[in-house]
Amino acid sequence: MLNIKRFSFNPFSENCFVVWDDKTKECAVIDAGCYYADEEEALADYIDKNGLTVKYMLATHLHLDHCFGCSYVSQRYGVKLSASADEAFLLDIMPQQAEMFGIKLNAPVPHISIAVKEGDRFTVGEYDFTAISVPGHSPGSIVYYCKSENIAFAGDVLFREGIGRTDLPGGSYRMLAEGIRTKLFTLPENTRVCCGHGPDTTIGYERDFNMYL
């Protein structure tokens, strides 16, 4: 069985997910946004108490709220950051991102070790996650889709009755809307979408009710 644990982290209430196979105990951490010490402890406590091996640290994108905890996870579990190379410039301007939002950086800025591209696959136990490139919220936004479980981890690409903002550096409403329509809305309508903020949704629901699309 594929287990999914969601945490709400940092001042932006960002959703971080731990997905794991209960047979092999392999897991992936998606969008390690833990900012405060108690959030780091909560994430580590869950991983350690379940006896999990962190195989991947995946980022849907690298706005600061989705990667506050990447250096912590990397140091604690010896795992490298996987993200689109198109997101690297966001790490270069992470101090400016923090200043814009009045946030203090309390950990080293991470770096991308594994460049994720469209179609790349990440295997966690018996489950494959395929990278789908959907730029627009940020230049290198990636959705991780598990076909066998019909679930997509969409970061800030798609929300329940909403989409990610496109007014930040590298954003484009046209690209985002086109990518959602051509790459996500072609998935089965009952596909569960785990969003970067807020509740889950489904592809079918967003096709019918998302006013931004």
pLDDT in tens, 62-97: 999 999 999 999 999 999 999 999 999 999 999 999
Over residues 40-47, mean pLDDT: 99
DSSP characters over 73-89: HHHHH---EEE-GGGHH
Give how many domains the chain has, as a whole number.
1
What CATH number corresponds to the domain at position 159?
A: 3.60.15.10
Residue span of the structural domain in which 54 resides = 2-209
Instruction: Give CA 64 to chain center in angstroms.
Output: 12
- Among left, alpha and beta (phi > 0; psi -120 to 50; other), residue 25 is left
Mean of all residue pLDDT scores within the chain: 98
pTM for the whole thing?
Answer: 0.97
Over residues 35-45, mean pLDDT: 98
